[in-house]
Amino acid sequence: MYAWIFRHLPGPLWVRIILSVLLVAAAVVLLMEYAFPWLSQFNPLTDSTIGITE
Amino acid sequence: MTDVKDAAAPTRRAAHGKAKGNERRRRSPFQVIVQVFGELLITAGLVLLLFVAWELWWTNIESNQKQDEALSSLFEEFQQAPAVPVPQNSDGGDSPEPADPPVLDEPAEGETFGVIYIPRFGENHARPLTGGVGLDVLDTLGLGHYPGTQMPGEVGNFAVAGHRQTHGQVLDLIHTLVPGDKIYIQTKDGFYTYVFRNNQIVMPDQVDVIAPVPTLPDAKPTERFLTMTSCNPRFGAEERIIAYAVMDNWQPASQGPPKEITERVAEFYGKEG
């Protein structure tokens, strides 16, 4: 799958390497900014209150 | 010798490349599916690792920064606030018996109204106190005040919650408190000194720990309690750890901070000045 994506990126090798790094970085930013904060509310580690079930 | 090697090299490379190309073409749909599935599993593993790193490490960095900002703006407010008249004893003199401390109105949800200093957690320890115990407060604004419980200095129970792990882990070291440890609370009116008394570990549904007299919901309070709640064990949440403290002393802002936290408080004011 990743090999397939890499082959279908445009440009010479060095452009494709830079593009892949950017794609990975974009995925990490999206996860940390949006996916994880949403997921975190289901994490029982964050329950520090008494008698309140979120 | 070298010539022979050089001449052979391009042929070998070509043959190798060709073989690789053939191999790719020869893969059956089943092999492709297995490979994609495997790559997705590896990706899922990496994403989970990233989540753990985000939760246990990155949220602390983010929350600490937000709490520092909240403290900065709070100290700006403190400096602009008009001096609060010092409550006088009935005889108006300097009798050793202190007057009743002033009590703030209950803050709105998300409003930072004070600072808590717990020297046992480190000499630089200072965290904001904010109204409300929703995740939006606890995740970014330090310790949250349980709505409906009393305020600092009030007879009854000033109850707050804070994260043990993640998001600044404001109460990570709650189990290291030793009876007699001082806990200082600063509001715009002054400094309240509480003395830590004991820890208790309870189930998450035992709400009477934040009653005006902790664990005795029907009793009439005569003392000024401070109750802090956090999750227990560390890196778990099956139980809650509770820390109880009792108010010992109060001094107005005009008298300056108690000795133990003088330097820390001065740092905050220095930052503003």
Q: What is the DSSP string of chain B?
A: -HHHHHHHHHHHHHHHHHHHHHHHHH--HHHHHHHHHHHHHHHHHHHHHHHHHIIIIIHHHHHHHHHHHHHHHHHHHHHHSPPPPPPPPTT-S--SSPPPPP-PPPPPTT-EEEEEE-GGG-TT--EEEEE--SHHHHHHSSEEEPTTSPPTTSSEEEEEE--SSSTT-TTTTGGG--TT-EEEEE-SSEEEEEEEEEEEEE-TT-GGGGSSSTT-TTSPP-SEEEEEEEEESTT--SEEEEEEEEEEEEEEGGG---GGGHHHHHHHHHHH-
User: Could you read off the pLDDT of B59-71 as tens digits, one per residue?
Assistant: 989 999 999 999 9
Q: Report how far residue B149's alpha carbon sits from residue B48's, in angstroms, rounded to the nearest whole number.
A: 38
CB atoms within 10 A of CB B111: 16
**Cα of A26 to nearest chain B Cα, Å:** 13
Q: Report how far residue B8's alpha carbon sits from residue B3's, in angstroms, rounded to the nearest whole number.
A: 9
For residue A31, the model assigns a pLDDT of 93
Instruction: Determine, for residues A28 and B204 on separate chains, whether the beta-carbon distance falls below 8 Å.
Output: no
B interface test, pick of A33, A43, A50, A54 with most B CB neighbours within 10 Å: A50
State pTM to two decimals: 0.79
Q: Report how far residue B220's alpha carbon sits from residue B222's, in angstroms, rounded to the nearest whole number.
A: 7
CATH code for the domain defined by B56-272: 2.40.260.10
Non-local (6+) Cβ contacts of B234 within 8 A are B164, B165, B172, B175
User: Within 13 A of B205's CA, how many CA atoms are on the CB side?
Assistant: 0
Average pLDDT score over residue span B240-263:
90
Paired tokens of B204? 């998450």
Q: What percent of chain B has pLDDT over 70?
A: 83
- List residues bridging with B111 in a β-sheet: none
- Write out chain B residues lying below 8 Å of A2, CB-based: 39
Average pLDDT score over residue span B99-119:
89
- Which secondary-structure segment (H or E) carries A28? helix A13-30
Highest mean pLDDT among A43-52, B214-223, B251-260: B214-223
User: Could you read off the pLDDT of A23-51 as tens digits, one per residue?
Assistant: 999 999 999 999 998 888 887 777 778 77
User: Within 13 A of A48's CA, how many CA atoms are on the CB side?
Assistant: 37
For residue B17, the model assigns a pLDDT of 46
Residue B208 pLDDT > 60, yes or no? yes
DSSP code at position A10: -
Whether ipTM tops 0.90, in short, is no
For residue A53, the model assigns a pLDDT of 44
B interface test, pick of A49, A52, A53, A54 with most B CB neighbours within 10 Å: A49
Judged by a CB distance cut-off of 8 A, whether residue B21 touches chain A is no
